[in-house]
Structure 1
Amino acid sequence: MPPPIPDEMPTVASKPHRSLWEAALVGHREALVLLASRTAPSVYAWLRANGSMPAEAVARTEHFFGRLLSSEPPDPNEEDVERLQEFLQRRLSAYVAAGLPDADEKGLEARPVFDRAQAERRFLRETQRDPDDVFTRRWALGALELTVETLREEFTNDGKAALVPYLQQFLSFSGGEERYAEVAEKTSTSISALHVAVFRYRQRYREILRRLVGDTVRREDEVDSELTKLLVSAS
């Protein structure tokens, strides 16, 4: 089950925040816990590419986030915190430079929940081995994967589970009516209903992905550039 995408932005002292990262920076621990679970596979991949074995990478990923969750929020006056991805990469480099502290350190807050086996399988598919390159690619692909998983759940809940395996192919906007006719026949769906489903799928894909990317930056005017960078990294 993917980390959930909240229906509403978190609030601190009754003030809504534009993104999860903005909320985390002012002390909203629930927002930071959710971001940790979403980004833990990228941290795991970075540690694996940096030389950690699978069990070590799991322990160090949990310890890294345990320390982050147990400390005070970063001070924007002392540290660049505009983009969560860059912030985590800098913190990871400092973590390793400090000599990879004892991953069994006590007194830390709850560690992030993520699928360790899946994280390892996806790391092994990477052809790049530079830690920062691996991190960036896993970050991008993770956002796309979560977008698709969220869409699959939405369509399944709406009783359109049979369409889900076919809708992904329509994201490319390629092909013509023959593709619609073929899928409509396979799924016992009218062509007009399939057109509506594809339109909604594309629209929700854009909305969900933009929201996921927006959750990792502080300001709205950074979302487009971050989204562009993500799509390039995933290609």
Structure 2
Amino acid sequence: MDSADKQSELNNRANFATTRWSIVVSAARESSPESNAALETLCRAYWYPLYAFIRRRGYTPDDASDLTQEFFSRLLEKRCLVGVDSAKGRFRSFLLASLQNFLANEWDKARAQKRGGGAASLSIDAVSAEASYLLEPAHDLTAERIYERRWALTLLERVLQRLHNEYVQAQKGRLFEALRPTIVDPSGAAAYRDLGVEVGMGEGAVKVAVHRLRKRFRSLLLDEIAQTVASQEEIDEELLALMAAVGG
């Protein structure tokens, strides 16, 4: 490994030292405003995929809502973080394994102590969650596949929202909405001409704008993924998992 490679490796390690997942791991040892915020951010991103997993396991909407709430209450209190190590897996894998253990061992206790009995909780819109669940594929997707699919779609929605916010802040919200479909489909010359008419730009300028939009989308996507894995190598693996989940 030459000096440039060594420096790149050091930079990667430095970047992963401050991901949300690593901050969450530190919360198992000592709580802080930073670790609490990181954990709550991750929980908000994953609550619906976990709710969908519980529903697909056969629980009623009310029970699924209570169980999801109680699970996150315990997680936010750090009771589920004892012994956690980011080097042993991705956050989403840790979360699903923790939930499965919770469902296997804590269902009766959780039912007796509705919504954590006043413990730390995460606000969950049960009505919205069930409405979303009713739109899930009705065929034989397993609970695990539903979880993977919702993880992927939720992550993509979060990336698109971040990208939208950036364009709005730059006073380019209209441009973003016009070019948004090109993120997944770069289109052809005719489409670029039509887009140019819509946003008042030439065909060449539209091509440049689309290139920048897609490049920024990929950058934000990689950043979101990096927040929940322990190493650079796992990013490519998560990208493949994401594409498989959406494609399935």
TM over 0.5: yes
* Structure 1: distance between partners of 2:189 and 2:208: 13
1:201-221 residue CA offsets vs partner (Å, 9 max, x unmatched): 101110111111111112222
Give unpaired runs (5+ residues) of structure 1. Answer: 1-14
Query: Secondary structure at the residue paired with 1:163?
Result: helix
Counterpart residue number, 1:232: 244
Counterpart residue number, 1:74: 82
Q: What is the one-letter code of the residue matched to 1:163?
A: L
Q: Is the 8 A contact 2:229 2:235 kept in 1?
A: yes
- Which range is displaced more, 24-33 or 98-107? 98-107
Q: Note if 1:199 corresponds to 2:211.
A: yes
Counterpart residue number, 1:20: 20
Q: Is the 8 A contact 1:41 1:119 kept in 2?
A: yes
Q: What is the one-letter code of the residue matched to 2:116?
A: E
> RMSD of aligned C-alpha atoms?
2.4
TM (norm. structure 1) is 0.83
Summarize the Cα distance change of 1:105–1:114 in structure 2 as closer, same or farther, 3 Å threshold.
Answer: closer
Summarize the Cα distance change of 1:89–1:59 in structure 2 as closer, same or farther, 3 Å threshold.
Answer: same
The total of aligned residue pairs comes to 219
Q: What is the one-letter code of the residue matched to 2:98?
A: R
Specify which structure has the higher proportion of helix. 2
1:26-84 residue CA offsets vs partner (Å, 9 max, x unmatched): 1122211110011111111111111223333222212111101112533147x984211
**Pairs within 5 Å for 1:165-176:** 165-176=177-188
Query: Which structure has the bigger radius of gyration?
Result: 2
Q: What is the one-letter code of the residue matched to 1:104?
A: R
Counterpart residue number, 1:122: 132
- Which range is displaced more, 44-53 or 140-149? 44-53
Which of structure 1's runs of 4+ aligned residues deviate more than 6 A?
Answer: none
Q: 2:116 aligns with which of 92, 105, 109?
A: 105
Q: Note if 1:135 corresponds to 2:147.
A: yes
Cα offset, 1:167, TM superposition:
1.7
Summarize the Cα distance change of 1:130–1:225 in structure 2 as closer, same or farther, 3 Å threshold.
Answer: same
* Structure 2: distance between partners of 1:19 and 1:117: 32
* Structure 1: distance between partners of 2:184 and 2:141: 29
Query: Secondary structure at the residue paired with 1:218?
Result: coil
Counterpart residue number, 1:48: 55
Summarize the Cα distance change of 1:118–1:168 in structure 2 as closer, same or farther, 3 Å threshold.
Answer: farther
* Structure 1: distance between partners of 2:131 and 2:205: 37
Q: Is the 8 A contact 1:82 1:219 kept in 2?
A: no
User: What percentage of residue pairs aligned between the two structures are identical?
Assistant: 26
1:73-111 residue CA offsets vs partner (Å, 9 max, x unmatched): 33147x9842111111111111111252233332522x2
- Which range is displaced more, 132-141 or 156-165? 156-165
TM (norm. structure 2) is 0.79
Counterpart residue number, 1:180: 192
Give unpaired runs (5+ residues) of structure 2. Answer: 1-14, 28-34
Cα offset, 1:177, TM superposition:
1.5
Query: Secondary structure at the residue paired with 2:162?
Result: helix
